[in-house]
Amino acid sequence: MAKKAGAKKKAPDKKAQLNDDIGEENRLTMWRLQLEVRQVEQRLHDLFFQNLIKGTSHLAIGQEAISAGFGAAMRPDDYTFCTYRGHAHTLVRGASMTGMIGELMGKECGMLKGKGGSMHLTDVEHGAMGSYAIIGAHLPIAAGAAWQAQYNKTGQIAACFFGDGTTNIGAFHEALNFAVVWNLPVVFVCENNLYMEYTPISEVTAVEHPAADRACAYGLPSIIVDGNDADAVFRVATTAFDKARAGGGPSLIEAKTYRYSGHSRADPATYRPEGELEEWMKKDPIPMYRQRLLDFGVKEDVVSGIEEAVLKAVDEATEEAKASPPPPLESAYEDVWADGGASWRN
């Protein structure tokens, strides 16, 4: 349309943009959640190199916008099911940082009392129903939690997060078909970070988009979202959750993203082509979101105030975890059974 002569170029209404369908409160929440995830992951990485954390860990640095976007869109009583790369998804539900850092350090204060470690973080009280380390297993389990919500008409949904590599195991396909035929309120989210452990997903997958291109096999629309943009993730999450709560059944969402570190602590990620990491770091979700908030007129001191508060919380949690004793030896014989014990005979 031709511009009216003499019409003044209107400045964008920042307030209106900030308070669109997502709104300022959700945006500040997502800002905080992304920072919490990044800061905790970086701290865990440091603690590993100080040998204060043993075993393994799978960081989600670079993928924060997905957990933050979905986390902010969830109701407190919704269920999260995630993988061994699950620190982020557990944290965004409101799990204790001390409990998380302590668990990785093998301390009594750990959220699993030192019995699970990095790959099994769970906080049932906050709806974080577990981190699952056998590829694919938690997809049908999430469907079962959604069945409960459907049966009891609670309006809850189950959100289930997994990687691109997981789309090639049978449990993925069983769970998708099952959830569709039972019309369950479950949202399956594939975080496509381009790699399984070390092999590029494109080398081992029959289709280009490992999740989205399979959706049609289950009568579902193909949904792809920019997994580095928390706002885009929040919108796609809200749409899928609303549909599930309204009885519209499951969704399958593929979020495109990238992990900055190797698959796990042991992996220097030398298999990645030169320059790939650098290209993705230009799309880093955190500086991008910071700039968006400033562009929307959020004051610099509000933005940096959240940064400082998160760092302080991570520092405090680290010290608390360090100060916690190891779990008592008797605890190894607790909680096999509902009676609290481990007895298999009389």
Q: Could you list the residues that contact ligand TPP (CB under 6 A)?
A: 58, 85, 133-135, 162-166, 193, 195-197, 263
- How many Å apart are CA 120 and CA 82, to the nearest integer? 9
Strands, sheet with 251-256, edge to edge from the N-terminal-most edge strand: 128-132, 79-83, 158-163, 186-192, 251-256, 223-226
Q: How many residues bind another protein (CB under 8 A)?
A: 55
- Closest residue to Mg ion using C-beta atoms: 163
Per partner kind, with CB cut-offs from 5 to 8 A, the member of ligand TPP, another protein, Mg ion, none near residue 197 is ligand TPP
Smallest gap from residue 298 Cβ to ligand TPP (A): 31
Is residue 106 within 8 Å of residue 92, measured between CB atoms? no
User: Of the two residues 27 and 263, which places its CB atom closer to ligand TPP in the complex?
Assistant: 263
Q: Is 57 in the site for Mg ion (CB under 5 A)?
A: no
Is residue 106 within 8 Å of residue 324, measured between CB atoms? no
Residue 32 CB-half CA count within 13 A: 20
For 213-221, which contacts have Cβ atoms below 8 Å and span 24 or more sequence positions? 214/167, 214/173, 214/176, 214/252, 215/252, 217/173, 217/176, 218/176, 218/177, 218/180, 218/252, 219/180, 220/176, 220/180, 220/250, 220/251, 220/252, 221/251
Residue (of 272, 260, 264, 275) closest to 62 by Cα position: 260
Among 13, 17, 134, 276, binds another protein (CB under 8 A): 134
- How many Å apart are CA 150 and CA 246, to the nearest integer? 11
Q: How many CB atoms lie within 10 A of CB 326?
A: 12
User: Of the two residues 49 and 151, which places its CB atom closer to another protein in the complex?
Assistant: 151
Among 44, 139, 157, 253, binds another protein (CB under 8 A): 139
Distance between start and end Cα atoms, the chain: 85
User: Of the two residues 266 and 338, which places its CB atom closer to another protein in the complex?
Assistant: 338
Region binding another protein by CB under 8 A among candidate stretches 4-12, 31-39, 58-66, 173-181: 173-181
Q: Which of residues 138-167 bind Mg ion (CB under 5 A)?
A: 163-164
- How many Å apart are CA 159 and CA 91, to the nearest integer? 14
Per partner kind, with CB cut-offs from 5 to 8 A, the member of Mg ion, another protein, ligand TPP, none near residue 263 is ligand TPP
Q: Is 86 in the site for another protein (CB under 8 A)?
A: no
Q: Which of residues 227-286 bind Mg ion (CB under 5 A)?
A: none
Question: 3-class DSSP state for residue 170?
Answer: helix
- How many Å apart are CA 257 and CA 81, to the nearest integer? 19
Region binding another protein by CB under 8 A among candidate stretches 20-28, 176-184, 242-250, 267-275: 176-184
The 170-209 contact track toward Mg ion, x by CB under 5 A, reads -----------------------x----------------
Q: Is 97 in the site for another protein (CB under 8 A)?
A: no
Q: Is 182 in the site for another protein (CB under 8 A)?
A: yes
Q: Which of residues 283-342 bind another protein (CB under 8 A)?
A: 334-340, 342
| Footprint on this chain of another protein (rule: CB under 8 A) | 79, 81, 110-116, 120, 122-125, 129-130, 132, 134, 136-149, 151-152, 158, 170-171, 174-175, 177-178, 181-182, 334-340, 342-346
| Site residues for Mg ion per CB under 5 A | 163-164, 193
